[in-house]
Structure formats: C-alpha cells, structure tokens
Structure 1
C-alpha cells in the first residue's frame, strides 16, 4: 500500500476489497500501473456510501474532518454522514475559508470536541498538526513528499 499511497491512483469512490488470495485496489480510470491489473466491475455494496444531496467534499486530517463552507449553507447531512461512516473522526469543523499571510482557517465546530490538534499519517510518517495555527491540507501530501525527497 505504501507504494501507491500519495500517487493519486486509487479511486476513493470504491472500497478496497480482499478475497482468500488477493487484495484488490480500485484504480482510477486511465491510470497505467506497473502491477498486474484485473478488470472487475464492482458490486453495488463495494461502492462507498456518499451523503444524500452533497458532493461529499471534505478533508480528513488525522481524526478531524474539515468541511468546506457551502453556498447554500447546508451541512447537516454531511455532518451526519461523516459521524455515521467514519468512526475514527472525533471532531468535525466547518471551514469558512483561509485568510491572512499565514493562510489560517476560520473554523467553526460542528461536531465533537473543540480540539484542533491531531496526528496525521501520510507517506509513512506521522505529523502533529494544529489546524488552527498552521495551514494544512491533506491534498498537498504529494508536494510534501517531493520536497522531503529533495532534502535527502
């Protein structure tokens, strides 16, 4: 799994499944892979559930979920969805956007305890992050990996 994490090739709309011999990773369409590829149409229950009426866009940073502010202001369905389907999430914040030179987030607590500190794991390392004091996006994992490889 460490060979493919951070390379943006996994299709996160589907579950990783296994049988007695193999583990099957859902690969995004149009991606070539150096590994043996098995073409298999997923069963209905292999698709990850998504919140009703929402695109489901949120970031997970450690055990914190951050929902981007929506134009229509509705977040109840997605908060309920995250709380039910992501048991490891202890806190959900609404992100009203970033501001200032340090690009700090304006966060509103929606669910759980108001503790913005968390341990986030990516690319084989664990980072301690306070999302109120530092701009952090899990979507930048590949960029952090590239910079780290340049330092070595």
Structure 2
C-alpha cells in the first residue's frame, strides 16, 4: 500500500462498497479487510471483520495473518483460538499464518500442539507449512527439532 494517497482511495472504495449494498457480500468485505491489512491499518481491518454478518475461514485467516504480519503476534494467537471456539477448522494456510506468531512469542507448547494438529490432518507435506514450522522451532530455540523437521522434508 503506497500509504496516504492509496489509503484515502481505499477508504473511498470501502465507502462505495457500503453505498452500493455490498456490505453483506462476504468476498467484498474480505477484500476490504485485506486492503486495510496490507496498509498496516489493522484496527480498521478488525472493524470490518467485526461488522461481517458471516465469517468464513478465509475471513478469519486473513485477519490472523494480518495481526501476525503487522507485529501483533499475541492478538493473532488470540484470534486463532477464537476462530477455533467459533467452530472454524484451521487449514494449512491458517497454520502458515499463525506459526510465525507462535515463534514471535516463543510459545513452544502452542507450537507443538499446532504441529500435532497438522500431522493429524496431513499438512506436513506442504512446503509452505514446513517452512513456517521451521521458523517457529528456530524462534523458540529448538534447533534440534527444526533439524528433524528439515530432514523429514528431504525424505
């Protein structure tokens, strides 16, 4: 996002989405939310999310990723757990989005739980997931486990 000018233009588009009756269109609102995330306006992204009448996995994942990417790892984790409590099941994209937050807060217990969840669902073969897992283990100071994960990638 090219900062101020693009942010103004994005806010205008957001207004037009509402004026033209697309406020209840899930995909339109996810797009608006994604715009705010990319501009670093995470509070605005959250406001859009909160106003959504329906929240699907993409909406949840977009906001989890937004918090993680914008330096709010604890909030990303809180939202990830809220998502699960709301009955949404994480997919590999969600896990790739939340694992860096786990590494940033260095919570190995949560990281191992997510790793186990991913193994049960067969996500370990996805390169993007494995890369996020490696980052998390290294950030948590578990080089030995990271090495085992890496060696498992090669085989």
More strand per residue: 1 or 2?
1
**TM value normalised by structure 2:** 0.30
**TM value normalised by structure 1:** 0.30
